[in-house]
Amino acid sequence: MPSQKKDPSTDIAKQLKIGNELLEKQNKLSRRFLFGLFFGIGTALGATSVGGITIYFISKILEAAGLPDIPLKM
């Protein structure tokens, strides 16, 4: 049997076509919207958690130092 040589240009064309399809799927508006929504919610929840934990530890440190409660004026 004679050895068949593959044409590298067809392999490259196939890879480009697959890459194109993946980019089209990734750039769909609904996918970007959902990604943005989850990113925003995650950021808000994370910032709230870190802020709450920070305030808790600061209050415990102030309590241990014997400082009185700091009155907040609204």
Average pLDDT estimate for 6-33: 85
Look at the block and give the residue holding tokens 């049997």: 1
Q: Which residue has the higher pLDDT, 31 or 9?
A: 31
> In this predicted structure, what is the pLDDT of residue 5?
67
Q: How far apart are CA 60 and CA 73, in angstroms?
A: 21
The pTM score is: 0.55
Question: Comparing C-alpha atoms, which of 72, 46, 74, 47 is closest to residue 59?
Answer: 72
Q: Which residue has the tokens 């530890």?
A: 57
DSSP annotation of 52: H
